[in-house]
Structure 1
Amino acid sequence: MADADVRVAVPEDAAEITRIQLTTWRTAYAELLPAEVLDGLDSEATERQWYETLTSGPAAVLVATEGPWVVGFCAAGPAPEAEAAAADGAVPSDLAEVALVSTLLVEPRWGRRGHGGRLLGAMAQRLAAQGATRGITWVPEADTASMAFFRSAGWAPDGTVRTLDAGGRPLRELRLSGPMGLSWAN
């Protein structure tokens, strides 16, 4: 394997982040999302959104590289109240210390090479340095690969579930929660 690394994303990465997101969703979520939803993803609008995030926030974005290629990315930041609240709407007492990992994707052809772990590890260190003690993320219940990945880092479902409308098809997501000090299981 060529040199692998993680670095802070720059605005010039927006196009590559977009390509990775769309490629990964169309590959990994082909059975979870209707074809018309995946076919309707707008690369120009998505690239504009990533450019705005990279230049204005609110999330921090890291990219994984292998040699000269960007192969994955992770976006995270302070958890909004609505994302961290319990199912009954109760706000957790540690809200100020909760980070939301909103996206962590590695392009499938670069999978199983440690990029996801490096991304989550680097982001967890960054968030912990900013005061986060706990992270949350939402994962489709049927996405067994992502579930296994986060579980291997010591994150687990916290009992909160949401159902999204995915082009007329319900998509059930579980909220996972875990410490910023990751505990990788072998």
Structure 2
Amino acid sequence: MAEASVRPAVLTDAEEIARIQRDTWRTAYRDLLPEDVLAGLDNTAAMRELVEEATATVVVATEGEWTVGFCVAGPAPDSEVAEADGSLPDDAATTGLVATLLVEPRWGRRGHGGRLLAAAAEALRNMGATRGVSWVPEADRASLNFYHSVGWQTDGVVRTLDAGGRPLREARVTGPLDLKLINS
């Protein structure tokens, strides 16, 4: 395997980040999202703005010369950490959100996801967060298994999004931010 690493995203990464999201969703979520939603994916401008304004931490995973994945993390809005009844947990103010963590399927199972999550967790800790949350489609067993493998668990809160007229149920996962990478 070529050298693998994670680094902060720069503005010139925005187009590649958008491509990774588009290609990964078209592969991983083709059975979950309508074709017209997948066909219309292009968030290059949003990614460019996110990286440029630094309102969240954006990191990219690389292997050799290739950008193979990315992660977006930042403070969690109250709506992302609220309990099913709408109440806020005691640690709402110190909970971080992993908004997106994607590795292209062809680069999977090489540790990129773990490196991305570890980098995001470190950034969240540096912002004062004590735990993290993320939302994963319930049908995305690979992502749920990944989060479970690093000690994050579903907490019983689910939400249903309108995905182009088709409901998409997501489960919230939560866990510690003291992740350590183990080099094998």
* TM-score bin, normalised by smaller chain: over 0.9
Equivalences for 1:1-186 in 2 at 5 Å?
A: 1-41=1-41, 43=42, 46-182=43-179
Q: Secondary structure at the match of 1:122?
A: helix
In the TM superposition, residue 168 of structure 1 has moved relative to its aligned partner by 1.2
In the TM superposition, residue 130 of structure 1 has moved relative to its aligned partner by 2.1
In the TM superposition, residue 182 of structure 1 has moved relative to its aligned partner by 2.9
Distance 2:5 2:104 in 1: 15
What does the per-residue CA deviation read over 1:43-99, in whole Å, with 9 as the maximum and x for residues that have no partner? 2xx100000000113211000000111110000000001111111111121112100
In the TM superposition, residue 139 of structure 1 has moved relative to its aligned partner by 0.2
Q: Secondary structure at the match of 2:97?
A: strand
Distance 2:18 2:180 in 1: 30
Distance 1:86 1:148 in 2: 23
Distance 1:73 1:13 in 2: 10
- Give the conservation status (yes or no) of the 8 Å contact 2:57–2:123: no
Q: TM-score, normalised by structure 2?
A: 0.95
What does the per-residue CA deviation read over 1:72-127, in whole Å, with 9 as the maximum and x for residues that have no partner? 00000000011111111111211121000000000111111110011001111221
Distance 1:67 1:179 in 2: 30
* Runs of 4+ residues deviating >4 angstroms: none
Coordinate RMSD, CA, aligned: 1.4
In the TM superposition, residue 183 of structure 1 has moved relative to its aligned partner by 7.2
The amino acid across from 1:123 in the alignment is A
Identity of aligned residues (%): 62
- Give the conservation status (yes or no) of the 8 Å contact 2:33–2:163: yes
- Give the conservation status (yes or no) of the 8 Å contact 1:152–1:183: no
Aligned length: 182
Q: Secondary structure at the match of 1:86?
A: coil
Q: TM-score, normalised by structure 1?
A: 0.94
Q: Secondary structure at the match of 1:142?
A: coil
- Give ranges in structure 2 of 5+ residues lacking alignment: none
Q: Name which of structure 1's ranges 68-77 and 89-98 shifts more when overlaid on structure 2.
A: 89-98
